[in-house]
Amino acid sequence: MKTFLYLADDIQALASGKVLAVGLFTDHVIVVNSQEPPSQEKPGAVPFSLLIAIAEVPPGHYEMKVVVLDPNGAATNYDIENTSDVPPGGSMVLAVKCNPFIFAEIGKYTVRTTVNGEVFENTFELRYAKLDMAPEEKLLDAVFGKTP
């Protein structure tokens, strides 16, 4: 089996077996724009969705557990369990909406997927960029020119 991780603004697993992804983060990096970096006292929040796709799955019944670990290896509040029956030639997908994803640290996060006891790990990164002005001020500047 092989696992693949996708991040996007929104991901939906459709009944047809297709997956709809809007705003795909192709480099597994989400840049968080805020006035100050997140901390334990004042965590950050960003909305996005995860898609865990598992290919080359032999037919059978599978129990899947997904845990997101922070840069220090501690489990976050994203802990998902799912079961699936896979026919011959099948695959598995699990879409997880993190709206919002609450975090206190910038860095690499690990998505640990356990399928019938076999563990797979994929990573994504949260980066911080200082927001130099409030979003509404930027919008006003873009529409009307410099704000007073």
Give 35-71 as a DSSP string. SS---SSS-EEEEEEEEEEEESPPSEEEEEEEEEE-T
For the sheet containing 44-55, what is the strand order? 19-24, 2-13, 44-55, 92-103
pLDDT of 137 reads 67
The whole domain housing 139 covers 2-144
Which amino acid is present at 56?
E
Residues near 99 by beta carbon (within 8 Å), at least 6 away in sequence: 47, 48, 49
**pLDDT at residue 148 above 70?**
no
Is the overall model pTM greater than 0.85, yes or no? Answer: no
Per-residue pLDDT of 19-60, as tens digits, reads 999 999 999 999 988 888 899 999 999 999 999 999 989 999
What CATH code is carried by the domain that includes residue 28? Answer: 2.60.40.1930
The Cα–Cα gap between 135 and 76 comes to: 28
Segment 59-67 mean pLDDT: 92
pLDDT of 136 reads 67
Q: How many independent structural domains does the chain possess?
A: 1
Compute the mean pLDDT over every residue in the chain, rounded to the nearest whole number.
87
Percent of the chain with pLDDT over 70: 89
pLDDT of 76 reads 83
Per-residue pLDDT of 127-140, as tens digits, reads 998 877 666 666 66
- Which residue matches tokens 């799955």? 57
Q: Which of 2-6, 11-15, 106-110 has the lowest mean pLDDT?
A: 11-15
pLDDT of 138 reads 65
